[in-house]
Amino acid sequence: MDSAAPLTRIDIHTHILPRELSANAKKYLELRARNDGDPRLDMYKDGKFFRTIEPNCFDIDVRLREMDEKNISMQVLSTIPVLFNYACENVNDILQLSRELNDHIASICRQYPTRFLGLGTVPLQAPKLAIEELRRCVNELDLKGVEIGTHVNEWNLDHNELDLFWCEAEKLDACIFVHPWDMPVGKQYEAYWMPWLCGMPFETTAAICSILMGGVLEKYPKLRLIFAHGGGSFPFTLGRIDHGHACRPDLCAYNNSNPPSSYIGRFSVDSLVHDSRALEYLVETMKETCVMLGSDCPFPLGEDNPGELILRTFRENSDLCEKLLSSNAKRFFKIVDQHSK
């Protein structure tokens, strides 16, 4: 591979926040300055400390500089999942918050159209409002679609309350990025960062299973879905999932008799698996046209140097590297040539 001509890198899994939040937004998330000129900010959720964020989470100049340093041509921006707020009963508040976050992302994309594309967020606990905001995201803000969680309170993603949302997403040809949140909780999960290390892969796997076994892709076959973190555990437990579907149809196949594996190639995943062997298996299992570079920038569990794992793993196959680093994303997000750096 010619190191003098680096391949284009499009990172489809990145998050960003506004530096300043409205009074409504501050009811759900506060960004507090630190002492002694520290440029980082402390995030507080429901009045409790949540995490410290680096300037690259809210300062677009810092983000652009880091992208240039790491040879990232373009990022697809989305909000941070803690702001989904699906459990909030004041849905008009969350609609207003969603609009604020979506307007912020859209403004960045308008300012830097060759560097950023955007995904919005919607109050999915209120499907009619979610549809209204999805339409605004796509038709007015020129966002590519929306990011959603892996479930909505007690609804899995095949719940009939979400049918109208899926129908509208298909009509709008919107990209839907499914990102885990609201992971399993309990005393047994409090140690060792388990909700993030174990809970997130489980959440994504459950979301994929609910969509496939629930027949969502049968009802809405043109949906454009991409799942975070390499699809969680799904690609690596697909044999078990298929076997369970076959041996216990009473428990698994009552909404859809097609085996889950029959939908491989009908949805995509990002590349964030942290390990060359896992990445090789992921690409083999999910198909090389359905895996895209995703880093989870700017958070610690992400890939520090987006694309380097792909280049190391498939260094003898430049065509495959190009697919994973950019051409799959160009096709999925319908990125025209002038959008590439």
Query: pLDDT of the chain along its 341 residues, tens only?
Result: 555 568 899 999 999 999 999 999 999 999 999 988 899 999 999 889 999 999 999 999 999 999 999 999 999 999 999 999 999 999 999 999 999 999 999 999 999 999 999 999 999 999 999 999 999 999 999 999 999 999 999 999 999 999 999 999 999 999 999 999 999 889 999 999 999 999 999 999 999 999 999 999 999 999 999 999 999 999 999 999 999 999 999 999 999 999 999 999 999 999 999 999 999 999 999 999 999 999 999 999 999 999 999 999 999 999 999 999 999 999 999 998 654 44
17: helix, strand or coil: coil
Per residue in 57-106, pLDDT (tens digit) is 999 999 999 999 999 999 999 999 999 999 999 999 999 999 999 999 99
Looking at domain 10-17+73-335, its CATH class is alpha beta
* Closest by CA position to 269, among listed 259, 256, 281, 258: 281
Could you tell me what percent of the chain has a pLDDT over 70? Answer: 97
Identify the residue whose tokens are 């388990």.
Answer: 194
Q: Which residues of 224-241 are buried (b: 16+ CB within 10 A; e: fewer)?
A: bbbbbbbbbbbbbebeeb
Q: Give the Å distances, CA to CA, from 234 to 201, 217, 243, 260, 285.
A: 8, 17, 13, 10, 10
Measured between alpha carbons, how far is residue 115 from residues 68, 108, 138, 295 in Å? 10, 9, 18, 16
pLDDT tens digit sequence for 225-248: 999 999 999 999 999 999 999 999
Report pLDDT digits (tens) over 11-25: 999 999 999 999 999
> What pLDDT sits at residue 321?
98
- Sorted by where each begins, the domain ranges of the chain are 10-17+73-335
